[in-house]
């Protein structure tokens, strides 16, 4: 078994999985209580969202029932809970005002059908292509709009048709405020804001439900004159068929598309967030859209609000311990029972209580974390413009403006790669005549004005290095640089083009431009001779023997030190490596490169031939082993050999010396420790045969046998052997094939390539 593979149970003798009935009984003890918690959260939210949408009160409960039962049964996110969402209140209110309620139901049906088409077309993930900053800003704008609407209700009045009107009429509404309404709404707001601070034994109750119940009791006990919810009949009286919208078909189509897109995006983003909260089955996005579309068609057909996946209810569902989609379905059943039998209780709820609930919901849609992220990522303008558009225009126009600005900003960043031109002499004055021009990013013809302007700053006759750390470069830019290079060289200067990025400069003009892939130009992988001889960074007064090293240090400080510093800062108080890596001193072996590791990962011991002298005959190796195991407590010890090893070549060519040890030079004395490996190789070690089958020559076969022998020697070592026997450390062998740049695993009997990491 590979050292990187996880152990798996054998398939034989497997116990049959639980039956459906057993799974149902096992999960019922989690899903049943979770469904009750979600029901208690969803009930007041559904009523409040219906009021904010200018829809019949029962439409919110109908949507909650359908969202729970239909979307919960069909959807692709097992733990997501669907229902009426605050994100669509502004859209629905505008549709109700334009077309009327029953026509809005028809638009909901059409939007649901469109969602099903999206799901069946398997394009669900494309809905996630909308910039997250626009989605966050859209929700914030909706939250601000809801808050301004419901402030008027909390003050005892009625909301107006636009945010402008709500703001303009706020002073007069404050002057005529009804203090009973203000008191009830303030109680709800205070409870919701302080609910997180209550003792844990009370905190298990849903805050919205507690706030509405307390406010309702207070309104009944205290001598207050407040408006209460009025229902026009029972749940069954609220069931109604939609009617065709009367008005411009373009406006109708726009409404359908708006509801479908917003409901789809909000549901999918909510599903993504829910997936991060649990370790169960991931969301099937296309199926989720089919489920959401089906729920919207049913909800619209029987007189309900549009349905989406709702993060508040879904996160509550996960936190309450739900295991399957049964919890979401049951929450819809509980709402149905309540709406059918207990509607009299609903009519006791003050309007101001739901207004306070909606104000808090609206405020919570404006997340400071999203605002900080937008500022940190340079998207603050997109966020602000989208919020302003949603609040003061309408939701669709605000989103379109935000998306347009996001695209413009993206284009601006693409066409403006980071560029600079600077003298590279110590004084910074340019007197030495040496300049460096650096271009980083993606370079296309759109960057031509900036690039040509930058090159014009380089004085004639200067010795220039043009560093192109780019991943994309089209023919227009290549020609501009090439023409400037020829002109500059005719004026007596010199130009060296240094391709630092992943883009292949030789392919320009031979084929359509494409983005570079890989690490071909990354300096951390390239030897000095591949880039230094043409343009040494060291000063001319530097001794020749030190120039490559100092030039490399200079390059490190310029390009890598800043990126490495945060990692090193975490290690300033000590090291905690995972593995001891014992390998050859050969300069071609770079342990951190072939293991993709960084500072603090490997405790490295190197010697000629990667040998472990038996019987503690070498103090250096012994000290490394003791320190790694006893002080650093590494979890593994790796012996790594390599192809074309000079030590193995010498061991294979020379028989064991009969001379006294004092007559041998230091290398011969050291390589005597490899004689057990030579003997094993000549005796037909199975690793040698396995290496031969893979096409390796005798030197590399001996190198692999040597790794296997050193691993065996470590197994007999007092420190390593004892730790391995106790399971505290694992010993393994590796071999680096230099020509192919591939790593192989060496066991006591086999050789295999380590090309992939097993799942």
In CATH, what number is assigned to the domain containing residue 436?
3.30.750.24
Give the span between the Cα atoms of 616 and 519, in whole angstroms: 42
Give the span between the Cα atoms of 207 and 692, in whole angstroms: 71
**199-220 tens-digit pLDDT:** 776 666 677 778 888 988 998 8
Q: What is the pLDDT of residue 538?
A: 46
Asked whether residue 15 is assigned to any structural domain, the reply reads no
Of 637, 647, 645, nearest to 734 by C-alpha is 637
Q: Is the pLDDT of residue 1 over 70?
A: no
- The SS3 call for residue 735 is strand
Contact 323, 78 (CB under 8 A): no
- The SS3 call for residue 463 is strand
Identify any residues that bridge with 463 across adjacent strands, giving them in sequence order: 434, 494
Q: Is the pLDDT of residue 711 over 70?
A: yes
- Residue 16's CB is within 10 A of a number of other CB atoms, namely 5
One domain, residues 469 and 598: no
Contact 756, 697 (CB under 8 A): no
Contact 415, 444 (CB under 8 A): yes
- Choose the weakest-confidence range: 371-375, 394-398, 445-449, 573-577: 394-398
Q: What is the mean pLDDT of residues 703-720?
A: 93
One domain, residues 510 and 586: no
Give the span between the Cα atoms of 36 and 73, in whole angstroms: 17
Contact 472, 515 (CB under 8 A): yes
Q: What is the pLDDT of residue 7?
A: 37
Of 446, 518, 515, nearest to 476 by C-alpha is 446
Asked whether residue 131 is assigned to any structural domain, the reply reads yes
pLDDT band at 23 (very low <50, low <70, confident <90, very high): low
**286-297 tens-digit pLDDT:** 999 999 999 999
Classify residue 125 by burial, with Cβ atoms within 10 Å: 0-12, 13-18, 19+. Answer: exposed
Asked whether residue 21 is assigned to any structural domain, the reply reads no
Q: Is the pLDDT of residue 540 over 70?
A: no
Q: Is the pLDDT of residue 544 over 90?
A: no
Q: What is the pLDDT of residue 89?
A: 84
Direct distance between the N- and C-terminal alpha carbons of the chain, in angstroms, rounded to an integer: 14
- Choose the weakest-confidence range: 127-131, 232-236, 608-612: 127-131
One domain, residues 72 and 195: yes
**393-443 tens-digit pLDDT:** 876 678 889 889 988 888 888 777 888 888 876 554 556 678 889 888 888
Q: Is the pLDDT of residue 667 over 80?
A: yes
- The SS3 call for residue 348 is coil
Q: Are strands 730-737 and 742-746 parallel, antiparallel or unpaired?
A: antiparallel
DSSP letters for 573-608: T----SEEEEEE--TT--HHHHTT--TTTEEEEEET
Of 598, 602, 603, nearest to 570 by C-alpha is 598
Identify any residues that bridge with 499 across adjacent strands, giving them in sequence order: 468
Tokens standing for residue 192: 């919701």
**737-754 tens-digit pLDDT:** 999 999 999 999 999 998
Q: What is the pLDDT of residue 710?
A: 94
One domain, residues 638 and 712: yes
Tokens standing for residue 116: 């099903």
**502-539 tens-digit pLDDT:** 665 656 656 666 665 544 445 556 676 666 654 444 44
**726-740 tens-digit pLDDT:** 889 999 999 999 999
SS3 helix, strand, coil % of the chain, rounded to 5? 60, 10, 30
Asked whether residue 542 is assigned to any structural domain, the reply reads no
One domain, residues 139 and 210: yes
Buried b (16+ CB within 10 A) or exposed e, 595-634: beeeeebbbbbbbbbbbbbbeeebeebeebbeebbeebeb
Give the span between the Cα atoms of 12 and 28, in whole angstroms: 31
Per the listing, tokens 């808050």 go with: 147
Q: What is the pLDDT of residue 532?
A: 64
Q: What is the mean pLDDT of residues 12-27?
A: 54
Give the span between the Cα atoms of 81 and 68, in whole angstroms: 6
Q: Is the pLDDT of residue 304 over 70?
A: yes
Q: Is the pLDDT of residue 17 over 80?
A: no
**464-492 tens-digit pLDDT:** 988 888 878 888 888 888 899 999 999 88
One domain, residues 84 and 225: yes
**619-629 tens-digit pLDDT:** 889 999 999 99
Quote the percentage of the chain above a pLDDT of 90.
Answer: 33
One domain, residues 491 and 579: no
H helix intervals, 195-350: 200-203, 207-221, 235-238, 249-275, 285-301, 311-319, 326-341, 343-346
Q: What is the pLDDT of residue 41?
A: 75
Contact 278, 298 (CB under 8 A): no
For CA atoms 554, 560, 563, 568, give the dihedral sign. Answer: negative
| Mean pLDDT (the chain, rounded) | 83
Q: What is the pLDDT of residue 477?
A: 85
Q: Is the pLDDT of residue 10 over 70?
A: no
Q: What is the pLDDT of residue 88?
A: 85
In CATH, what number is assigned to the domain containing residue 654?
3.40.1050.10
Residue 470 sits in which domain range? Answer: 418-521
Q: What is the pLDDT of residue 155?
A: 87
Higher pLDDT, 706 or 362: 706
One domain, residues 465 and 363: no
End residue of a domain, out of 521, 542, 562: 521
One domain, residues 425 and 300: no
Q: What is the pLDDT of residue 734?
A: 96
Higher pLDDT, 125 or 194: 194
Q: What is the pLDDT of residue 660?
A: 47
Q: What is the pLDDT of residue 242?
A: 92
Contact 111, 296 (CB under 8 A): yes
One domain, residues 376 and 445: no
pLDDT band at 391 (very low <50, low <70, confident <90, very high): confident
Asked whether residue 11 is assigned to any structural domain, the reply reads no
Q: Is the pLDDT of residue 131 over 80?
A: no
One domain, residues 423 and 380: no
Backbone phi and psi for residue 731, each to the nearest 5 degrees, phi listed first = -110, 135
Q: What is the pLDDT of residue 228?
A: 82
Asked whether residue 611 is assigned to any structural domain, the reply reads yes
Asked whether residue 527 is assigned to any structural domain, the reply reads no
One domain, residues 445 and 588: no
DSSP letters for 277-300: T-SSPPP-HHHHHHHHHHHHHHHH
Contact 391, 141 (CB under 8 A): yes
Backbone phi and psi for residue 641, each to the nearest 5 degrees, phi listed first = -100, -175
Asked whether residue 551 is assigned to any structural domain, the reply reads no
Q: What is the pLDDT of residue 31?
A: 83
- The SS3 call for residue 102 is helix
Q: How many domains does the chain have?
A: 3
Q: Is the pLDDT of residue 657 over 80?
A: no
Give the span between the Cα atoms of 699 and 711, in whole angstroms: 19
Distances (CA, A) of 375 to 133, 378, 381, 415: 10, 5, 8, 21
């Amino acid at each position: 078994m590979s050292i990187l593979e996880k152990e798996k149970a054998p398939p034989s003798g497997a116990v049959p999985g639980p039956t459906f009935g057993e799974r149902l009984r096992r999960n019922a003890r989690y899903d049943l209580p979770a469904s009750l918690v979600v029901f208690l959260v969803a009930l007041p939210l559904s009523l409040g969202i219906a009021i904010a949408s200018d829809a019949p009160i029962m439409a919110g409960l109908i949507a909650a029932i359908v969202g729970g039962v239909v979307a919960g049964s069909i959807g692709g996110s097992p733990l997501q809970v669907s229902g009426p969402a605050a994100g669509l209140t502004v859209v629905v209110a505008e549709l109700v005002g334009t077309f009327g309620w029953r026509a809005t139901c028809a638009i909901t049906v059409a939007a649901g059908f469109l969602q099903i088409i999206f799901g069946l077309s398997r394009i669900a993930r494309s809905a996630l292509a909308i910039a997250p900053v626009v989605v966050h800003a859209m929700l914030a704008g909706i939250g601000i709009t809801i808050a301004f609407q419901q402030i008027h209700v909390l003050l005892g009045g009625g909301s107006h048709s636009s945010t402008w009107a709500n703001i303009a009429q706020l002073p007069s509404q404050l002057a005529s405020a009804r203090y009973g309404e203000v008191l009830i709404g303030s109680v709800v707001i205070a409870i919701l804001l302080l609910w997180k601070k209550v003792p844990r034994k009370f905190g298990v109750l849903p805050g919205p439900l507690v706030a509405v119940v307390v406010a309702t009791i207070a309104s009944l006990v205290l001598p207050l004159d407040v408006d209460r919810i009025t229902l026009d009949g029972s749940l069954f009286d609220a069931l109604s068929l939609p009617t065709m919208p009367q008005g411009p078909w373009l406006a109708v189509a726009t409404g359908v598309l708006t509801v479908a897109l917003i409901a789809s995006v909000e549901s999918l983003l909510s599903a993504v967030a829910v997936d991060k909260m649990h370790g169960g089955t991931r969301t099937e996005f296309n199926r989720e859209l089919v489920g959401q579309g089906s729920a919207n068609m049913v909800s619209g057909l029987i007189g309900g609000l549009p349905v989406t996946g709702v993060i508040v209810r879904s996160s509550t569902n996960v936190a309450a311990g739900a295991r399957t989609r049964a919890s979401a379905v049951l929450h819809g059943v509980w709402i149905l029972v309540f709406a059918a039998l207990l509607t009299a209780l609903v009519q006791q709820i003050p309007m101001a209580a739901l207004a306070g609930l909606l104000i808090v919901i609206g405020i919570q849609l404006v997340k400071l974390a999203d605002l900080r992220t937008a500022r940190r990522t340079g998207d603050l303008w997109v966020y602000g413009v989208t919020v302003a558009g949603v609040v003061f225009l309408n939701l669709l126009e605000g989103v379109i403006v935000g998306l347009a600005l996001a695209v413009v900003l993206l284009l601006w960043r693409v066409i403006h790669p980071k560029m600079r031109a600077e003298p590279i002499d110590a004084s910074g004055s340019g007197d030495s005549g040496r300049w460096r021009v650096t271009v980083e990013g993606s370079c296309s013809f759109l960057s031509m004005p900036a690039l040509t302007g930058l090159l014009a700053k380089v004085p004639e006759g200067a010795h220039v290095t043009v560093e192109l750390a780019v991943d994309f470069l089209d023919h227009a830019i290549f020609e501009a640089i090439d023409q400037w290079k020829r002109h500059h060289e005719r004026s007596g200067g010199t130009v060296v083009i240094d391709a630092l990025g992943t883009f292949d400069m030789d392919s320009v003009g031979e084929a359509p431009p494409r983005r570079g892939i890989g690490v071909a130009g990354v300096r951390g992988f390239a030897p000095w001779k591949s880039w230094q001889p043409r343009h040494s960074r060291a000063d001319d007064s530097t001794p020749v023997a030190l120039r490559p090293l100092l030039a490399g240090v200079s390059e490190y400080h310029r390009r890598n030190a800043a990126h490495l510093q945060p990692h090193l800062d975490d290690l300033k108080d000590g090291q905690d490596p995972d593995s001891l890596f014992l390998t050859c001193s050969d300069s071609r072996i770079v342990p951190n490169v072939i293991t993709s590791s960084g500072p603090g990962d490997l405790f490295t011991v190197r010697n000629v031939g990667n040998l472990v002298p038996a019987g503690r005959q070498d103090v250096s190796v012994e000290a490394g082993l003791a320190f790694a195991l006893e002080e650093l407590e590494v979890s593994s010890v790796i012996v790594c050999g390599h192809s074309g090893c000079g030590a193995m070549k010498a061991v294979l060519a020379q028989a064991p010396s009969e001379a006294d040890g004092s007559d041998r030079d230091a290398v011969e004395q050291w390589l005597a420790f490899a004689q057990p490996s030579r003997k094993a190789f000549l005796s037909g070690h199975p690793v040698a045969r396995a290496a031969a089958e893979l096409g390796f020559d005798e030197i590399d076969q001996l190198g692999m046998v040597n790794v296997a022998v050193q691993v065996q020697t470590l197994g007999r070592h007092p420190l390593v052997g004892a730790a391995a026997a106790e399971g505290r450390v694992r010993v393994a062998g590796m071999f680096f094939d230099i020509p192919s740049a591939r790593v192989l695993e060496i066991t006591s009997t086999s050789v295999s390539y380590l090309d992939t990491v097993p799942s």
